[in-house]
A and B are shown apart, each in its own frame.
Chain A
């Protein structure tokens, strides 16, 4: 099943290359909206300072220390802008996911029409679903992980056992991580069904999403796992490139930019593949009922001579 849905997802991604490009461009546009001002601020801060030249080749801790000393608001400003981008990203991501799912599940209209329709039509419901899942996840994580973390603190204070303390800490992180992971899977399953069935109410499909994920955890984790492995391979290639090619000159910075965007594009393509796999998985696990042909009433022959 995992192999089959993965193949279907990859096929869907191959069929709709424009979708990967669109997602990549949206990602890049929002990143540039915060990134360009950050770059300009940095340029004004260090462009005339030769002592900052080691930054051309990579991170220099001494320069970073002095930069923070000289511009104490710089890191805070960058962090704040990143937070703003993250919030916008959550909203734009909901719209983009709606558009992507609509493109993958329908073929009646041109690409742009389908994408825009899906982005607008399902935006509100996707945001509501995301908020609900977020709140529920936070509560569940708190209820499960908090006692473990409290145990951790007590073990650290009293037990004298580094092993027990580390095990408790690891258990808390693992449990919290699993809850978040399954919540995301359920949200994805619910979103596929929202697009497929276009219901007005979100909660029943969210409940169904949790049910289908918790009922078939291996299939869901396996589908995501395969996609994650492919993503990790792409990341590994990118990291190997970065380690081998320091970007210290203008042309090398440009090369770094090109390779980075190639990686992001590949990841967008893999995301489309994952959406396609999820659509296939939902269809397998919760198939849409086949619509019955309405029964034809018996036709009685009219009295009189036969027609021509």
Chain B
């Protein structure tokens, strides 16, 4: 048993006085805006027996499906995800080449799921007439989508109960689910209904099943319901699963039956291994969150203290024994995630969270999210110095917990809009990590890497070919990961800079509250931004999310030189006068001696990318004087720019949206440098180095590294014998 997380906090008297002061400023409390329950569309009552030697599951389900639409539905569509691992002809295998996230499929480690029978609760057999469907790529060999026509349609608002018998063979772990020796991570293992989307939901014109094939780059999409699952397996296994264990029975045949239940979730996964070390701790809403943190959050969000109050959560970590020393790291990360995700977006509504440390050799099952059940990822090398300050286990734990919010509760369609869950989670994870552990996610022998560096490292002009909002299997090769994760993170940071930190916090809170236990689309997020931030940001999303393109603003050149005396021939006819170069130079010298000629400065700003955002330019002059100006333009393109918001401090005018602009100034001081986006607000800029330029080069940085480079060459020469 672990102690509750130890925290240093101000004395009680100080905390109380802060609380009282902030309470005086807080708005009056109002009704809790968090939805308490989900509308249950698909309930699953399952019994499954694991044969650990054959690696098979024998299962029975009672499924109750409720028609959420105003029209009758005459068929049911199922996901049979495990059939993605059935052969090399599946869509998953063809697209992935048999690997995922660097893990290759072990030889002959195939898996599958067979539906033995499916009957209506009254006994009518439904399997005859069922067909495999291929709505995405027409691959007739793919068996991951199964359509079952019904003898009578389910009426609008009605329900149907089904009894399904199935058998599954688990694959060798390489892509999230399966087995490795006697470790089992069982995800996407049962026949699961797709989502019936009525007309109007997520922008649909007509109602229909949303049930995609299992692709290499896609994840999942399902309806909310209640799950009750009985898992029978040899009693030597330690079991963890979605939800809370409500019962454990010891059977006469040497097996145990574990019963887990959870309502208001979209999936159920479980794990079993005889080697797990089980560590339990409790997140305490009272002890693990300070009064100051509650008060600050309430103020930031403009909510009452009651609305931001959290609930206790039981935290279970199932660790590999050789990594027992990392238990506290996982617990601390889980609790930090429960706290900050809860404070910022809404309290975590479930009583439990289970964190699984995959077995060595089963890393493919790590880094994955299921409702109230996540798999982390670590290694024994993180047990001790110098790797104990590489926060990889923490980052994975926080990220996968984050999916409880963006995926499990706000259940967006991971097939079609992966940015809504992966990108939002990446963005939120960076904030939690920074808040809990400081700016550095990696500190290793002098090297320091922040969470933002990961997103920034992937941002490149080469990413110009994909829009963020693209079906998961539709990205150009190698671009699913960055577009779904890091680029979305950078886009949300840019949005935050545009609308302001407080407004962004309220946007995210409102979006979560409004869409908790529902299925949003991208437009729903845009609408929340417009409503809460008070301005339509569609112009921003059109460029940054809906269309391919990059943003790369640069200061292409800067010059600053004294105004020169004109020279040459002036006037017409008899009145011509000539000023020779020599005479002009003489005049310039005299002017300089008298008090100095003014300086003419010329700056050229360019946009190398297609994305154009309002931007400001900072100018630094000799003597330390500086000036920041909004880049405005008298000519603008199209009515869309009428709604373009201005940045804080901008003068009234229309933002400049052209491809290049020359700015000329004349003044008493020489220009030293010019910087576009001086406050680093535009995180999606693929290259910050070219955002500024100085008139005269400064060789100090190059000298520093030139000297170091020579020294490194000297060390290398010493190693080869010189």
Contact = CB atoms under 8 A, between A and B. Distances in A.
B690 A49 contact: yes
Contacts of B459: 69
B687 A50 contact: no
A198 interface: no
Nearest to B696: A48
A35 B713 CA distance: 7
B154 to A, nearest CB: 47
A63 B689 contact: yes
B718 to A, nearest CB: 6
A159 interface: yes
B658 interface: no
B701 interface: yes
Interface residues of B, number: 60
Interface string B197-222: 00000000000000000000000000
Contacts, number: 185
Contact of A55 (B447, B449, B693, B701): B701
Nearest to A42: B702
Nearest to A67: B689
A162 B380 contact: yes
Contacts of A248: 700, 704
Contact of A82 (B381, B456, B708, B716): B716
B448 interface: yes
A50 B717 contact: no
A160 B700 CA distance: 52
A140 interface: no
Interface-centre pick from B449, B690, B692, B708 (highest chain A CB count, 10 A): B708
Contacts of B722: 23, 26-27, 30, 89, 92-93, 96
Contacts of A49: 689-690, 692-694
A48 B361 contact: no
Contact of A90 (B359, B688, B720): B720
Interface in B679-722: 686-714, 716-718, 720-722
B535 interface: no
A34 B686 CA distance: 31
Nearest to B552: A69
Given A35-B710, A97-B721, A159 B361 contact: yes
B720 A39 contact: no
Interface string A267-298: 10001000000000000000000000000000
Which DSSP category, helix, strand, loop or mixed, fits chain A's interface?
A: helix
Contact of B687 (A42, A70, A97): A70
A125 to B, nearest CB: 15
A159 to B, nearest CB: 7
Given A47-B698, A69-B687, A55 B705 contact: yes
B701 A70 contact: no
Contact of A52 (B181, B457, B701, B713): B701
A157 interface: yes
Nearest to B360: A162
Contacts of B359: 160
B460 interface: yes
A32 B707 CA distance: 9
Given A39-B706, A53-B701, A69-B460, A89 B693 contact: no
Contact of A61 (B453, B688, B691, B711): B453
A260 interface: yes
Given A86-B720, A93-B722, A162-B379, A264 B714 contact: yes
A298 B263 CA distance: 119
A270 to B, nearest CB: 10
Contacts of B381: 166
Interface string A37-57: 011001101111111111111
B673 interface: yes
Contacts of B704: 55-57, 247-248, 253, 256
A93 B183 CA distance: 55
B559 to A, nearest CB: 11
B135 interface: no
Given A27-B722, A157-B106, 13 more contacts: A31-B711, A32-B710, A35-B710, A46-B689, A46-B702, A48-B697, A70-B690, A82-B713, A85-B717, A89-B722, A166-B380, A247-B707, A253-B703
**8 nearest A-B residue pairs (beta carbon):** A39-B706, A93-B721, A47-B697, A35-B710, A43-B702, A93-B722, A31-B713, A55-B701
